[in-house]
C-alpha cells in the first residue's frame, strides 16, 4: 500500500494539491481575489456579490498581467485574450 501526501487549501478545502507550495499559491490567490472583490464592490456598489467575486478571481489569477499594465505597460492587457484560462 502506497502512502500519498496531499495538501488542502485552507480557503478552498475541496481542492487538494500534491505540492505544499502550490497549495500556498492557491490560498494567496484566493486571499487577493477576496480583497479585490471587496474593493470592486465598494467602487461599484451596483455589482452583485457574484459579479464582484468573479472579477476578483479573474484579476487575481491574472495578477502578473494587471501588474504590468499598472506599471506603464497597458499593452500587456492584450495578453488576457490570448491566454488559456488558468484554474
Q: Per the domain annotation, does 3 fall within a domain?
A: no
CATH code of residue 41: 1.10.10.710
pLDDT in tens, 61-77: 999 999 999 999 999 99
Whole-model pTM: value is 0.79
Q: For residue 6, tell me if it sits in a domain.
A: no
The CA radius of gyration of the chain, in Å to the nearest whole number, is: 16
Q: How far is CA 83 from CA 38, 78, 80, in A?
A: 26, 9, 6
Residue 19 included in any domain: no
Number of domains composing the chain = 1
3-state SS of the chain: helix, strand, coil percent to 5? Answer: 60, 5, 35
Structure confidence by residue, pLDDT tens digits, 47-56: 999 999 999 9
Q: What pLDDT is recorded for position 87? A: 52
Residue 2 — pLDDT band, cuts 50, 70, 90? confident
DSSP state of 47: S
Query: Using one digit for the tens of pLDDT, what is the confidence trace for 25-42?
Result: 999 999 999 999 999 999
Amino acid at each position: 500500500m502506497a502512502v500519498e501526501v496531499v495538501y488542502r487549501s485552507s480557503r478552498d478545502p475541496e481542492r487538494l494539491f500534491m505540492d505544499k507550495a502550490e497549495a500556498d499559491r492557491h490560498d494567496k490567490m484566493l486571499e487577493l481575489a477576496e480583497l479585490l472583490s471587496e474593493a470592486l464592490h465598494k467602487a461599484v456598489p451596483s455589482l452583485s456579490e457574484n459579479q464582484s467575486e468573479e472579477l476578483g478571481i479573474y484579476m487575481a489569477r491574472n495578477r502578473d498581467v494587471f501588474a504590468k499594465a499598472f506599471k506603464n505597460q497597458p499593452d500587456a492587457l492584450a495578453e488576457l485574450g490570448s491566454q488559456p484560462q488558468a484554474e
